[in-house]
Copies of this chain bind each other. A is one copy, B any other.
Amino acid sequence: MSETDRGTETKVDEAESAALDLANVSDADRSAALRAVADAIEDAEERVLAANEKDVAAAEERLEAGDYTRAFVDRLTLDAAKIESIAEMVRSVAAQDDPLGETLAARRLDDALELYEVGVPIGVVATVFESRPDALVQIAALALKSGNAVILKGGSEATHSNRVLFDVVRDATCAGSSESEREGESPRDGERERPRDASATMPDGWAQLIEAREDVDTLLGMDESVDLVMPRGSSAFVQYVQDNTKIPVLGHTEGVCHVYVDRDADLGMAADVAFDAKVQYPAVCNAVETLLVHESVADDFLPGMVERYADAGVELRGDADVREIVDVDPASEADWSREYGDLVLSLKVVDSLDAAVDHVNAYGSKHTESILTEDADRAGDFMTRVDAASVFHNASTRFADGYRYGLGAEVGISTGKIHARGPVGLDGLTTYKYYLEGDGQLVASYAGENPRPFLHEEFEGEWVPGHLASDQ
C-alpha cells in the first residue's frame, strides 16, 4: 500500500502513538538515526534526482505557460551539490545539543517533596510547506532531533521529490516500514550500498507524508491528536489554516518589515543596510517593505538612496514629504501595510523617533524591525517600544532567520507572541512537563486549621525518579 492510499486519520493516529514512544528515545539514538538519514540521502542521490526531474519538467511546462517564475522553478530544482548540502544540514541538526531533558527549574515544596520542570517534546507537529524539496528533510530532521512525530505536507509541485525523500527518511529510521508494503513502487536503483544499520529503530510512524489538499482539511480537524500546526507559504494559505483549525498555529501571514534611518544614523551604513534589506533577496518575509527616514536627514539621505535603489530596479513609492525631495510615485494608505515580496519599496519621512515607533506598531506585522542610529539611547528606545519578534540596531532585517541566528535550521518564523517568536528551531519544538517526587504527601496536611507551610526553595538538581525513596 502506498502512502497516498492510506487515510489521513490513520496516519495521524500512527503519529500520535509513535510520539509517545519517541519522547523517550535517547538523544544518542535520535542523533544516530539522523546521521543514518544523511547517509541514506547521499546514497539515494540518483533516485532523488530522477524524481526531481519529473517535478522540474512539469514545472518548466507551467513556466512556459506563464504560471510560474524562473525563480520558482530554480528553487524546486535539485542537483548533486544541493543533495550534499541537504545531507550536511541533517548532520548539523544531529550535532546540536539535545533540546530535551533539561531541568528548567527545581523547587523544594517541602521536605521530600520536590518539583522539577523538565523539557519534553510537544508530541505531534504538523507542517505544511512550500515547494522547496529540502524543506521536507529540514523539517523532518528538526522534528526527530526534538523527539516529535511529524506530519509533512509539501507543495504539489514537488510531489515526486518529496515522495522519494520521505521514503528515504522513513526507511533510514524505521525498521518496520517493510518492503512488502511498498510493492508496486518504483524500484530502487542499487542504492542500498550501506546496510540498514541499528539506527533504524525510531518508532514506526513517527514521520507521515500527506499529499492532497483535502487531506490538509482532514488534518486541520484533528485537534485532539495534533498538538501544533506550522504552515509556511503564501499569506492566503497561512490565513486559511488559522481560520480553519482549533489546533494551535505557529507561523506568519505577512512580513511587513521596516528600516528606520534615525536623525543620528551613520548615513553610509544606513544606505548599505537599507539596500541589503530590500535588494539582497526581495521575495522573502524578512525583506524590508517600508523605509522610514527622520526628517532631519531626509534631504541628505534620500537622493543618493533613491538613485541606488533605482539602479537596482527597485520601484519606489513615497509619501508627500518624500516626494518633495525625490521624484517617486505616490504611496497610498494601502502601501503601508503591504508585503510586496518584490523589488518594490515604500518610503516615508517621519518627524521623530516617536513617529517611527508609532508607524511601525500601527502597520508592522511584528516580524522584524531595524533602526539605524549612532545614539545608544535612541536605539534602546526604539527597540524596547517596537512590538516585534526581532528588533535590530544597525543591521539588515534579512538576518532574521534560524540559520543566521544559530538555531541550526528553522521550521518556520512566527509573528505570534505565544510559545515561540521569530525563527523557530529546536527549542520552539519543545514544551515542558512537571515531575513531582514525594513520599506520600497529602494536600489535607497543607490545608484546614493548622496548615503545614510550604518551603518553596529553588535548588540546583536534576530529576532522578524515585531518589527520595532510595535515600531512606
Q: List the interface of chain A (C-beta within 8 A of B).
A: 20, 23-24, 107, 109, 113, 115, 122-123, 227-228, 242-243, 246, 248, 250, 266, 269, 272-273, 275-276, 280-281, 361, 372-377, 379-380, 383-385, 387-396, 398-400, 404-406, 416-419, 421-422, 431-444, 446-447, 454, 456, 464-470
Contact = CB atoms under 8 A, between A and B. Distances in A.
A436 B380 contact: no
Best-buried of A275, A374, A388 by chain B (most CB within 10 Å): A374
Given A392-B438, A434-B390, A467-B376, A398 B123 contact: no
Contacts of A122: 417-418
Nearest to A228: B418
The 3 closest A-B pairs by CB, nearest first: A376-B466, A380-B465, A395-B438
Nearest to A448: B280
Contacts of A398: 442-443
A466 B432 contact: no
Given A273-B441, A392-B435, 4 more contacts: A20-B361, A20-B385, A243-B246, A419-B419
Nearest to A269: B440
Copies of this chain: 2
Given A273-B442, A438-B395, A442-B272, A20 B419 contact: no
Contacts of A465: 376-377, 379-380, 383-384, 393
A469 B109 contact: no
A418 B421 contact: no
B454 A115 contact: no
A272 B393 contact: no
Given A466-B376, A470-B376, A440 B406 contact: no
A436 B276 contact: no
Contact of A432 (B375, B421, B470): B421
Contacts of A276: 442-444
A157 to B, nearest CB: 25
Contacts of A379: 465-466, 469
B434 A391 contact: yes
30 contacts: A23-B385, A107-B405, A107-B406, A115-B406, A123-B417, A227-B418, A242-B246, A248-B248, A248-B418, A266-B440, A275-B442, A373-B466, A374-B469, A376-B464, A376-B467, A377-B466, A379-B466, A384-B465, A391-B433, A393-B436, A393-B438, A394-B437, A394-B439, A394-B469, A396-B443, A399-B438, A406-B454, A406-B456, A418-B418, A422-B434
A376 B465 CA distance: 6
Nearest to A423: B434
B436 A390 contact: yes
A431 B250 CA distance: 14
A135 to B, nearest CB: 19
Contacts of A392: 435-438
A336 B384 CA distance: 50
Contact of A272 (B228, B242, B440): B440
A380 B464 CA distance: 8
B280 A442 contact: yes
Contacts of A442: 272-273, 275-276, 280, 396, 398
A275 B443 CA distance: 10
B441 A418 contact: no
Contacts of A400: 434
Contacts of A456: 406
A90 B88 CA distance: 53
A324 B418 CA distance: 50
B419 A113 contact: no
A469 B374 CA distance: 7
Given A269-B440, A404-B443, A389 B433 contact: yes
Nearest to A416: B248
A21 to B, nearest CB: 8
Nearest to A248: B418
Contacts of A464: 376
Contacts of A437: 392-395
A264 B55 CA distance: 59
Given A361-B20, A431-B417, A280 B387 contact: no
Given A242-B246, A406-B107, A399 B443 contact: yes
A357 B107 CA distance: 26
Nearest to A244: B246
B454 A387 contact: no
